[in-house]
Structure 1
Amino acid sequence: MKIAFTAPMKPLDDPTPSGDRTMGRLIVKALEFGGHEVHTATRFQAWRKNGGDAELLSVKSAALQEAERVGDVWEQEGYQPDIFLTYHLYHKAPDWIGPALADRFNIPFAVIEASRARKRRTGPWAIGFQGADDALTRADGIAALHDWDRDRLLPFFEETGTDPAQRLRTVLPFLDLSAFAKPQSSRPVPEPPFRLLTVGMMREGDKTASYEVLAAALGQLSDLPWHLTIVGDGPNRDAILGQLPKDRIAWLGALPPEQVIAEYPKHDLFVWPAIRESFGFVLLEAQASSLGVVAGDALGVPEIVANGTTGLLAPEGDAPAFAERLRQLLTDPQRVRSFGEAARARMFALHSLDAGARRLDAFLNCALDHYKRLSDQPKDR
């Protein structure tokens, strides 16, 4: 089908790397892999750092003008999409364009990844919150990337008196596994000192908190043989590295994606506490590289890391528990290998580009069916 696409939080060609940009690009790639024709309708960025009525009303006005411009171009060119798809909206990045164009061209409207913080219903983000809610109301299909996010959207359906079963789905994140080298036919049992790897930016907030938990956990494992490689950089670099023993770490700094991917197979185990991590691309990448994982059980991580099968999860932010999970594996190298093998197999089964394409295709077809059912009803939408 012909899909008109936009990402109001960050255009997919934005020069700043981020997990959001990566997921958006992967969604487009999976849709095209599945045989769909994806057209970026607009690069309009609705995201704003600061709220306030004046600021958000200005964004809304500009968005509606952009919708009118895009619609005029479509009519001039004879372009008629089958569905409009928006990736990632919330109160800081509402979408007024997708619903307007879907109404103008009488097509379904769908959303992948929507966040909803009800405390933003009032205050400086109220207009953005209402804009995002209006888009969700118009949406014929809403997809979350994992069930934790899905459950956060259930109050919206309760408040609007609508059935989530008709419109709400979980599609799970995925990777293009062709970028990851095929592992050895039989991965050897790791030998001490165990080669640990972590990847994360060194910025304020949750990333630094994750490093602090990791440092505290490793501090409880000085009696075991391990060495940690760190990939990442940022303003908190010195403070973070200062918490770790210099003779047991190798800091590689920030690396381009292809070099990060090359690091995974050189190691035995991936470690990342994942404070407030939506799901973590690095956890997917590590498992795609046949690495078992020790991580925090934040948000969508338990749907990405199969606890006891591809890794071990500790309560979010709990350094002693993280250390205990890591100790289990550092004293059981056979289990480290089995986790890595299971991780690779699970990635191909659930998180490949092909698996993502199939889930996205099913989601879009559900949105089309919902739109058709409503269109067949005599009353107005």
Structure 2
Amino acid sequence: MSAVAFYAPLKPPEDPVPSGDRTMARALLAALDGAGLGEVHLASRLRSRDGAGDPAAQDRICGDAEREIERLSAGPRPRLWLTYHSYYKAPDLLGPRLSRHWGIPYALVEGTRASSRLQGPYARFAQAAEAACDAAQVIFYLTEYDREALERDRVPGQRIARLRPFLAAESLPPWRPPPRSDTFRLLTCAMFRAGDKLASYRALASALALVTSQAWSLTIIGDGPARAEVEALFSRFGDKVRFAGALGQEEIAARLRDSDLLVWPGVGEAFGMVYLEAQAQGCPVLAEDRRGVRDVVRDGGFLVPADDPSAYAGAIEALIADPDLRLAAGRKGRDRIAAEHLLPAARAALTAELLPLLSDRPR
């Protein structure tokens, strides 16, 4: 019998498509593995995401969930169920019911409420996400925006606890400044997808068109179905922009260490794992001041008003002209990541809330 059953309804941790959600799920497993809570296992690979508000898709997913509940309920009983990221497009349809069946505690990491979705095409799944939040003994929030809704609708006896977004690393290597260059090396790293990702690329291209200095270059790491659209956005800049394709984490980290600034506006980001990854390598970041993003872009970065290409361009110009400011931000950001956004801090937060839930349960 395992102690902790872990589930990620949006995307299982071993999914082949990289994303911030997958990265965070893997980081959570690494944190739980060393948190002194006992054995952790992946409870299910069922994906509950409906990206279109499609009743037929929701019917199919709910049918799959019923079959998965039947399968799991006949198996070994864990001592705690922990779900990562339940929300109105991908609610946890398993954990609340199985936890009741087994009589075990139920906890959520990044469980979110969206009362505005209780009407319309997502009503059924939004209600399921609300029910998951209601069932949880503890909900860990990753951003202040999520905390506000969770506190507002908290059920009696429920704990709302902070868990800062974190990287799956025990510590960071010594900081070193990037190598000298006559060119201001910008870097961005994100999937090529329609929607918010494409909106961020569009905002970045609009801002770069307003930068008067010519002493910059941009490397774009990523790939995906919207590649043609992203390439078209940056075609006007010629060889100043280079597409590096999809890279592994070690290569991304090396590129970040050798860059002067990560540029990513952050449209629609829950918080943005790439901001943590950049700051961990001592690379300062420039983002738009958006909810979630501002939770992780602090000492090691700069925020400008959202939807203001001229402000973004002005910030790039200012940072080109002030290498000392960039270097200071890079060091401060790295120190902040080391103190608050790595496995030791995450384990401490998880253990403080989850161990009491386990201590009263029979083994």
Give the structure-1-normalised TM-score. 0.85
1-side partners of 2:57 and 2:296: how far apart?
38
Letter in 2 for 1:153: L
Question: Which residue of 2 is the match for residue 25 of structure 1?
Answer: 26
1:317 equivalent in structure 2: 307
2:113–2:150: 8 Å Cα contact kept in structure 1? Answer: yes
Q: 1:266 to 1:313 in 2, by over 3 A?
A: same
Identify which of 286, 291, 296 aligns with 2:278.
Answer: 286
C-alpha displacement of 1:53: 5.1
Conservation of the 8 A alpha-carbon contact between 1:180 and 1:261: no
Between the two proteins, the alignment pairs up a number of residues equal to: 357
Partner residue, 2:198? 208
The 3 A distance-change label for structure 1 pair 207 and 92 is closer
Measure, in 1, the Cα distance between the counterparts of 2:144 and 2:348.
18
- Would the aligned equivalents of 2:108 and 2:138 in 1 still touch at CA under 8 Å? yes
1:301 aligns with 293
Structure 1 pair 196/358, CA: closer, same or farther in 2 (3 Å)? Answer: same
Instruction: Describe how 1:336-351 pairs up with structure 2 within 5 A.
Output: 336-351=326-341
Please tell me whether residue 130 in structure 1 is matched to residue 127 in structure 2: yes
Q: 1:102 to 1:181 in 2, by over 3 A?
A: same
Q: Is 1:5–1:39's contact at 8 Å kept on the other side of the alignment?
A: yes
Q: Indicate the residue corresponding to 2:138 in structure 1.
A: 141
Which of the numbers 249, 254, 269 marks the counterpart of 1:277?
269
Contact 2:300 2:329 in 1 (8 A): yes
Pairing partner for 1:356 from 323, 331, 346:
346
- Of the candidates 156, 167, 180, which is equivalent to residue 175 of structure 1? 167
Residue 122 of structure 1: CA displacement? 2.6
Q: Which residue number corresponds to residue 17 of structure 2?
A: 16
**Equivalent residue runs for 1:316-335 within 5 Å:** 316-335=306-325
Cα 1:242–1:71, aligned 2, differ >3 Å: closer, same or farther?
Answer: closer
* TM-aligned CA deviation for residue 85 of structure 1: 0.7
Q: In the alignment, is residue 63 of structure 1 matched against residue 60 of structure 2?
A: no
Larger radius of gyration: 1
Maintained 8 Å contact 2:178/2:258: no
SS in 2 for 1:88: strand
Is the contact between residue 224 and residue 330 of structure 1 (CA under 8 Å) also seen in structure 2? no
**Conserved? CA contact 1:196–1:226, under 8 Å:** yes
- After superposition, residues 189-208 of structure 1 pair within 5 angstroms as 192-208=182-198
Alignment partners' CA distance in 2, 1:8 and 1:243:
33
**Residue aligning to 1:108:** 105
Aligned twin of 1:377 = none
- Find the aligned partners of 1:264 and 1:105 in 2 and give their Cα distance: 46
Does the 8 Å contact 2:179/2:258 carry over to 1?
A: no
1: CA distance, partners of 2:169 / 2:22: 18
CA distance in 2 between partners of 1:236 and 1:128 (Å)? 28
Runs of at least 5 residues in structure 1 that lack an aligned partner in the other structure = 75-79, 373-381
Q: How many percent of aligned residue pairs carry the same amino acid?
A: 39
Aligned to 2:95, the other structure's residue is in SS state: helix
Tell me the alpha carbon deviations over residues 86-121 of structure 1, each in whole angstroms, 9 at most, x when there is no partner.
111122322232112211222111111123322321
Q: Secondary structure of 1:153's match?
A: helix
Preserved CA contact (<8 Å) 1:140 1:368: no
Question: What's the TM-score once normalised by structure 2's chain length?
Answer: 0.89
1:48 to 50, 72, 79: 50
